[in-house]
Amino acid sequence: MYSNLWLIPFFPLIGSIINGLFGKKIKNEAVIGGIATGLMFLSFLVAAQNFFKLLGDKEKVHELVIASWMSVGNFQLNWELLLDPLSAVMIMVVTGVGTLIHLYSIGYMHGDESFYRFFSYLNLFAFAMLMLVLGGNALVMFIGWEGVGLCSYLLIGYYYEKKSASTAANKAFIVNRVGDFGFLCGLFVLFWALAEKGVWTLNFVEIAESGHLLESGGLLITVVTLCFFLGATGKSAQIPLFTWLPDAMEGPTPVSALIHAATMVTAGVYMIGRMNGLFAMAPATMMTIAIVGGLTAFFAATIGLAQNDIKRVLAYSTVSQLGYMFLAMGVGAFSAGIFHLMTHAFFKACLFLGSGSVIHGLHHAYHHAHLHDDPQDMRNMGGIRKKMPITFITFLVSTIAISGIPFFSGFFSKDEILWWSFGSTRGHCLLWVLGAAAAGMTAFYMFRLVFMTFFGEQKTDARAKDHIPESPFTITIPLMVLGFLALIGGYIGVPKILGGANRFHAFLAPVFEHAQHANEIHAHGSHATEYTLMAISVAIAIIGIFTAWVMYVKNPELPGKFVARFAGAHRVIFNKWYIDELYDFVFVNPCKKIGTFLWRGVDVKIVDGVVNGCAWVVKGIGSGLRYTQSGYLYNYAMIMVVGVVLIVGFFVF
């Protein structure tokens, strides 16, 4: 039935191998980009075919075993893929947005000297990400999990000659290792705990079936899920491990859009969704997730208020939106979280690609005028809407969507999350307050970005400002498609209260409903409350937009006064609450000191001494034994005879 599922990750893998091995010889950008994008598109077609097949299928869970991996005792591990509504949504997002971003990259990376390397990495990323979402057991998922981490590292450090890029790549990798450690610990404990009950498995379907063997709300399940959650905070940039994501913007912009906004960073949310049965059984973990998600949404939004680098604003916005998704997962609104994951993929990819289009245009203009201004600094922009109309319109649509203005995609998903965080049996009104406040700030900083970039006077250097071109069609087509999706993508999940059928929720229900019923998770409250909350959050968003308009269009001198007035507060959020400095002080520097001690004191003196001593002894034995090999036949024969005598003697005595 679904036997061609393996083709979905296979196509990008082939693309990565072809471009990786032969890209240098092919040289032709059109061919390299065509191969990568074409294969990604094929993968999308197969994904779409499977998606629609699943849509019409009564049976919603399908496993495809590709090969046996290992079998030890009772434990059987396969290379297997799992298609259910959850992974079906994910493969559509990954291959769909992935294809568009591949197409975009052809234009964006034009002229780069290692064009082929970029596409090889990008394809490899798509392969790893698809393994992650399609993996039928935790180990296949882990391979994808590590694979996307590797590709993220390679692509953040793509401009490896730049010191800041390679440092950012290292930071991302190391911070993610902390999270991966949590993931692995969770995996080990879960495996051990289930094995204790006689179930030897890592298969997701079997884990879901035997989750009830563990004590609901018990210590064991709490530890397991907390470990997994630690893994999720690393990959999805949540408190406390969010610091790498803003630095990851050192990578090329399509990478930021694909990996650090639309797909990889949502892996943590996906993973919680995949194991929702376990998480639902651990109320303490759920509460932790909700609080961490809410706080991340709030704090990242505050930092976003004061940044001047266009990509950094979007980076903090991403962290903040991921916070929403975790908030949703934490209050048990699993399908709402995945819904927001999808709409966010549309509008945030569009925003990143739009910012890339702006950067690309400015870069071109500066290059033309032989200037070295920073093309990412919003203070050098302004008035670009006339120069780049398509970029502007798509960007505006996505901004409205992320701000939560009714009838754009972001509104439906964000509103569902806010409603659940208030009304869910696992929710709390304070969580709603965090979310609503973050929504207001989101509207503010996003429109601040739009106003600073596209409206007002052109602040670009006079020599360059007339040379900003609209981007080529490979860039504008993805923008238009994504902008369109950002506009209408929410209509598959219109809530019942607004007269919709919430088909998205119904589609995902087979994955989540069981855990929600079994653990009594549901949202309750009157329609009046729901309408009121909705009205408040829309009002907050409009206030945010209005404030931004007042400050950055009507009275452009206002922000300066504002900063002067609240210099202390501004400094704190401008410097990202000094979190990086705090981590340097608490973790990085002590680790370095301990490391230096272990190196100079323990490693060089003790460990090396022991190792070299052993090596010396072993080598000595080796050279000694070598002399038995005299080369003379009679010696050899003699040793044989001795051997025979010893063996016979061994048996006789």
Partner 1 sequence: MENLVQEAIQNVNLQAIMPSLVLCVFGMAILMVSVFSKRGSTTHIAWLSIAALVVTGFVTLIGWNNPQAGFAGSVLLDNFATFFSMICIIAAGLTILMSDDYLRREGYPVSEYYPLILFTTAGAMWMASGTDLMTIFLGLEVLSVSLYVLAGFFRNQTRSNEAGLKYFFLGAFSTGFLLYGVALLYGVTGTTKVDGIAAYLMANPEAAMNTMFIAGGSLLLVGFLFKVAAAPFHMWTPDVYQGAPTPITAFMSAGPKAAAFAALMRVTIIGLDGLQSELTSLFWILAVLTMTIGNFIALTQKDLKRMLAYSSISHAGYVMVGLVAWNEIGLSAILFYMLVYTFMNMGAFAVLVLIGKKGEDNLTLDGVAGLGYKKPILGIVLSIFLFSLMGLPPTAGFTAKFYIFAGAIEAGYIWLAVLGVLNSAVSLYYYLRVMVQMYFKDPEEDFAWVSINGPVTISIVVSAVGVLYLGIFPHTLMSLAKLAGF
Smallest gap from residue 81 Cβ to partner 1 (A): 16
Smallest gap from Cβ 623 to partner 1, in A, equals 5
Contact with partner 1 (CB under 8 A) among 18, 40, 70, 166: 70
For partner 1, the closer CB: 562 or 636 = 636
Q: How far is the CB of 72 from partner 1 (least distance, A)?
A: 8
When asked if residue 71 is in the footprint of partner 1 (CB under 8 A), the reply is yes
Nearer to partner 1, 45 or 66 (CB): 66
Instruction: State the Cα–Cα distance between residues 629 and 633, nearest whole angstrom.
Output: 10
Distance in angstroms (rounded) separating the CA atoms of residues 408 and 347: 10
CB of 70 to partner 1, least distance (A): 6
Give 592 or 619: the residue with its C-beta nearer to partner 1: 619
- Binding to partner 1 by CB under 8 A, coded x per residue (else -) over 222-251, reads ------------------------------
Could you tell me if 263 and 336 are in contact, meaning their C-beta atoms sit under 8 angstroms apart? no
Of 69-77, 177-185, 277-285, 377-385, the segment contacting partner 1 by CB under 8 A is 69-77
Question: Is residue 629 a contact residue for partner 1 (CB under 8 A)?
Answer: yes
Minimum CB separation from partner 1 for residue 76, in Å? 9
Name the residue with tokens 């949540």.
Answer: 238
Of the pair 596, 635, the CB lying nearest partner 1 is at: 635
| Long-range contacts from 148-153, C-beta under 8 angstroms, 24+ separation | 148/235, 148/259, 148/263, 148/264, 148/267, 149/173, 149/176, 149/180, 149/235, 151/121, 151/122, 151/124, 151/125, 151/259, 151/264, 152/125, 152/176, 152/248, 152/259, 152/260, 152/264
CB nearer to partner 1: pick between 111 and 624: 624
SS3 64: strand
- Which of the residues 105 through 144 are near partner 1 (CB under 8 A)? none
Neighbours of 127 (CB within 10 A): 26
| Nearest distance from C-beta of residue 618 to partner 1, angstroms | 6
Q: Which stretch binds partner 1 (CB under 8 A): 173-181, 387-395, 541-549, 638-646?
A: 638-646
**576 CB-contact burial (10 Å; exposed 0-12 / middle 13-18 / buried 19+):** buried
Q: Does position 648 bind partner 1 by CB under 8 A?
A: yes
| Closest distance to partner 1 from the beta carbon of 148 (Å) | 19
Site membership for partner 1, residue 625 (CB under 8 A): yes
Q: Give the DSSP letter of residue 266.
A: G
Closest CA to 291 of 340, 382, 243, 229: 229
Amino acid at residue number 500 = G
The answer to the question of residue 539 lying near partner 1 (CB under 8 A) is no
Residue 635 lies near partner 1 (rule: CB under 8 A): yes
Which part of the chain contacts partner 1 (CB under 8 A), choosing from 277-285, 565-573, 593-601, 630-638?
Answer: 630-638
Distance linking the first and last C-alpha atoms of the chain: 67
Beta strands at 62-72 and 75-83: parallel, antiparallel or unpaired:
antiparallel
| Cβ 418 to partner 1 shortest distance, Å | 47
Token pair 């906004």 is found at 261
Q: Is 25 in the site for partner 1 (CB under 8 A)?
A: no
HSE, CB side, 13 Å, CA atoms: give it for residue 476: 12
List, in order, residues 6 or more apart from 603 with CB less than 8 Å away. Answer: none
- Minimum distance from CB of 142 to partner 1 (Å)? 14
Of residues 569 and 648, the one with the C-beta less far from partner 1? 648
Measured from the CB of residue 601, what is the shortest distance to partner 1 in angstroms?
25
> In the range 590-619, which residues lie near partner 1 by CB under 8 A?
615, 618-619
Shortest distance, position 67 Cβ to partner 1, whole Å: 5
| Token pair 């705990």 in the structure block, residue | 193
Q: How far is the CB of 609 from partner 1 (least distance, A)?
A: 18
Determine if 4 is a binding residue for partner 1 (CB under 8 A).
no
CB of 71 vs partner 1, minimal distance in Å: 6
Asked if 633 is part of the footprint of partner 1 (rule: CB under 8 A), the reply reads yes
Residue in this structure with the two tokens 């003699």, named with its chain if needed? 638
CB 155, CB 122: distance < 8 Å: yes
Which residues, including other chains, have CB under 8 Å from residue 639's CB and lie 6 or more apart?
628
Is 621 a residue that touches partner 1 (CB under 8 A)? Answer: yes
Closest to partner 1 by CB, 63 or 309: 63
- Interaction of residue 524 with partner 1, rule CB under 8 A: no
> Closer to partner 1 at the Cβ: 71 or 216?
71
Cα–Cα dist 51/338, whole Å? 16
2, 22, 69, 574: which one binds partner 1 (CB under 8 A)? 69
How many angstroms separate the CA atoms of 354 and 352, rounded? 5
Is omega for the bond preceding 240 within 30 degrees of 0, making it cis? yes
- Yes or no: say if 420 and 332 are a contact pair by the CB < 8 Å rule: yes
Half-sphere CA count of 224, side-chain side, radius 13 A: 27
Interaction of residue 67 with partner 1, rule CB under 8 A = yes
User: Which parts of this chain interact with partner 1 (CB under 8 A)?
Assistant: 67-72, 615, 618-619, 621-623, 625-626, 628-629, 631, 633, 635-637, 639-640, 642-644, 646-648, 650-652
